[in-house]
């Protein structure tokens, strides 16, 4: 029985100490207030005074009757930051400080995905950075779990889990083998934000051409130009045909049309034709009439 | 004699003003979460531009002129500060902030290099004036989270938010 009373008393003492710590001075302000929450301030004394709440993020002022409790409705003070409550009466001024902290529930995400377009098959080629905000657009500074997810046209899904620290988190993803549009999504709590990332074919791979005679001329035609993952290289990509004959060279640049490039060239007997596209060198053909 | 004394006082006052105008600066080793290495020059430029933004903030809140924020702030930081200035103007008050010391640490550099976040344990004095009359002067120690993003020729403050120290 005595032990039980001792425990009860001990508990009361601890609770009162916590209360005293939570509510600092005579204004009875808590040390922290969640952004947008209602709160009240005691105004000890008598007579008229002005109550100021000042911070870099917000300023409020109330004319008050000392001895009353001043009530601030929900949504009055919503910008996170350090604030001073200044109670200025005719004869004295009292000041207390407190912090307005963001709500822990994510409500807004500022998500930047880069690049918006890249070649297929790039390890860590796609990056995403996110800042996590509460409903009042305060950066949530407590560690907050976030997840990143990249869905590619082939159905492949890459996932990364991260913790936003000081409001920020990031992730990197690989571009996959198939060209098309990826969806890059970040989630925090029950909100998400999505960006589209375009995967375009990579450099040409295994370039090959054939040659045929057309009157006095030679017609050079490439096979369908593809990257190393089999994606058709974009139309408009330049293919360079070169003729080397008797120590001199002539070149023709031709854009891909419908996946292939074709040129008609005055050919000399014994000339050597070669083809190149980007970093890819194709085959060579010796022209013999 | 009195002229010399006046000149001396003027010099001392100017020197004193110069001294008080320069806050002490401490830069902690960066504790970056990033895949992207932060070049020394980039970090220094971000810190330089952030410290400069305090001057703009001080002048803007004291003179209640939101236009003074233009060069240093952007996005939500600019909107929030401009709203504070609007509130001060409506209430007939102004605030004088004087930063005394900064203790900075770079904490985040986004992989694409388009934002830098830093923390600042800052000591400053704040003076509240109502209709031009000083109501109180307080010394404050606070911690700030700052997100900077690059503009044409400098870093601008996009998020400027106090957090419990």
Has residue A258 got a pLDDT over 60?
A: yes
Return the CATH number of A108-200, one of 2.60.40.1930, 2.40.50.140, 3.30.465.10, 3.60.70.12: 2.60.40.1930
pLDDT for B4 equals 41
> Taking all residues of chain B, what is their mean pLDDT, rounded to a whole number?
88
- In this structure, of A1-5, A233-237, B21-25, the range with the lowest mean pLDDT score is A1-5
- Cβ atoms of A123 and A97 closer than 8 Å: no
A58: closest CA of chain B, how far (Å): 5
- In this structure, of A169-183, B11-25, B74-88, the range with the lowest mean pLDDT score is B11-25
Which member of A79, A86, A137 has the closest CB to residue B136? A86
Any bridge partners for residue A221, and if so which? A210, A262
Set out the domains of chain B in order of their start, with CATH numbers.
31-163 (3.10.450.240)
Q: Model confidence over A103-119: pLDDT tens digits? A: 999 999 999 999 999 99
Q: What are phi and psi of B16, to 5 degrees?
A: -60, -40
Q: Which residues of chain B are at the A interface, by a Cβ-Cβ cutoff of 8 Å? A: 33-35, 57, 61, 76, 80-81, 83-84, 87-88, 91, 93, 95, 97, 107-108, 110-112, 114-115, 117, 119, 126, 128, 130, 135-136, 138, 140, 142-143, 145, 147, 159-165
Arch. (CATH architecture) of A209-286: Sandwich (2.60)
- What is the fold of A2-100? Immunoglobulin-like (2.60.40)
pLDDT band at A9 (very low <50, low <70, confident <90, very high): very low
| % of chain B exceeding 90 in pLDDT | 78
Which member of A50, A124, A138 has the closest CB to residue B130? A50
How many C-beta atoms surround the C-beta of residue A240 within 10 A? 16
Over residues B155-163, mean pLDDT: 97
Residues ≥6 apart with Cβ < 8 Å to A6:
none
A232/A154: higher pLDDT: A232
Has residue B11 got a pLDDT over 70?
A: no
Chain A residue with CA closest to B32: the answer is: A165
Residues ≥6 apart with Cβ < 8 Å to B25:
B51, B101, B102, B104
Q: How far is CA A79 from the centre of its chain?
A: 23
Using the Cβ of A160 and the Cβ atoms of chain B, whether some distance falls under 8 Å is answered with no
Q: How many CA atoms lie within 13 A of A106 on its CB side?
A: 25
Q: How far apart are CA A143 and CA B3, in angstroms?
A: 62
pLDDT for B33 equals 80
State the DSSP H helix or E strand holding residue B63, giving kind and residue range, or none if neither. helix B40-63
Over residues A167-185, mean pLDDT: 95
Q: How far apart are CA A272 and CA A274, in angstroms?
A: 7
- The ipTM estimated for the assembled molecules is 0.86
Instruction: Report in angstroms the alpha-carbon separations of A246 from A8, A226, A243, A271, B152.
Output: 106, 32, 10, 8, 54
Instruction: Report in angstroms the alpha-carbon separations of A1 from A4, A5, A10, A91, A242.
Output: 5, 6, 14, 53, 103
Q: Model confidence over A12-64: pLDDT tens digits? A: 333 333 333 344 468 888 999 999 999 999 998 889 999 999 999 999 999 99
List where CATH 2.60.40.10 sits in chain A.
Answer: 2-100, 209-286
| Chain A residues touching residue B114 (CB < 8 angstroms) | 112, 114, 129
Over residues B105-110, mean pLDDT: 95
Has residue B6 got a pLDDT over 50?
A: no
pLDDT for A25 equals 63
């Amino acid at each position: 029985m005595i032990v039980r009373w001792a425990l009860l008393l001990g508990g009361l003492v601890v609770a009162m100490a916590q209360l005293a710590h939570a509510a600092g001075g005579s204004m009875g302000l808590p040390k922290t207030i969640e952004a947008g929450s209602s709160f009240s301030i005691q105004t000890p004394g008598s007579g008229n005074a002005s109550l100021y709440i000042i911070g870099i993020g917000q300023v409020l002022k109330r004319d008050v009757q000392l001895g009353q409790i001043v009530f601030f409705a929900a949504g009055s003070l919503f910008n996170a930051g350090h604030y001073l409550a200044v109670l200025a009466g005719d004869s004295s001024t009292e000041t207390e400080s407190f912090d307005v902290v963001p709500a822990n529930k994510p409500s807004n995400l500022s998500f930047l995905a880069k690049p918006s377009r890249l070649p297929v098959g790039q390890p860590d080629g796609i990056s995403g950075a996110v800042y996590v905000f509460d409903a009042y657009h305060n950066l949530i500074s407590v560690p907050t779990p976030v997840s990143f997810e990249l869905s590619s046209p082939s159905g492949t899904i890459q996932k990364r889990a991260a913790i936003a620290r000081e409001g920020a988190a990031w992730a990197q993803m690989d571009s996959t083998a198939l060209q098309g549009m990826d969806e890059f999504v970040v989630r925090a709590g029950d909100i998400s934000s999505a960006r589209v990332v375009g995967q375009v074919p990579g450099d040409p791979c295994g370039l090959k051409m054939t040659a045929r005679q057309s009157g006095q001329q030679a017609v050079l035609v490439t096979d369908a130009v593809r990257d190393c993952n089999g994606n058709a290289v974009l139309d408009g990509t330049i293919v360079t045909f070169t003729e080397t004959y008797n120590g001199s060279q002539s070149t023709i640049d031709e854009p891909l049309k419908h996946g292939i490039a074709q040129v008609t060239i005055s050919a000399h007997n014994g000339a050597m034709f070669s083809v190149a596209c980007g970093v890819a060198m194709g085959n060579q053909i010796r022209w013999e009439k | 004699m009195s002229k010399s004394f006046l000149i001396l006082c003027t010099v001392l006052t100017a020197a004193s003003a110069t001294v008080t105008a320069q806050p002490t600066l401490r830069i902690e080793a960066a504790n970056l979460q990033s895949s992207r290495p932060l070049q020394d020059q980039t970090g220094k430029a971000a810190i330089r531009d952030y410290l400069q933004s305090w001057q703009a903030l001080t002048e803007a809140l004291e003179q209640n002129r939101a236009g003074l924020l233009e060069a240093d702030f952007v996005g939500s930081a600019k909107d929030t500060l401009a709203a504070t200035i609007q509130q001060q103007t409506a209430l007939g008050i102004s605030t004088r902030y004087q930063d005394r010391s900064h203790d900075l640490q770079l904490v985040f550099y986004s992989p694409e290099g388009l934002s830098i976040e830093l923390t600042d344990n800052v000591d400053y004095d704040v003076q509240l004036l109502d209709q031009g009359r000083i109501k109180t002067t307080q010394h404050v120690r606070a911690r700030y989270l700052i997100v900077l993003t690059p503009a044409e020729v400098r870093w601008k403050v996009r998020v400027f938010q106090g957090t419990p120290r």
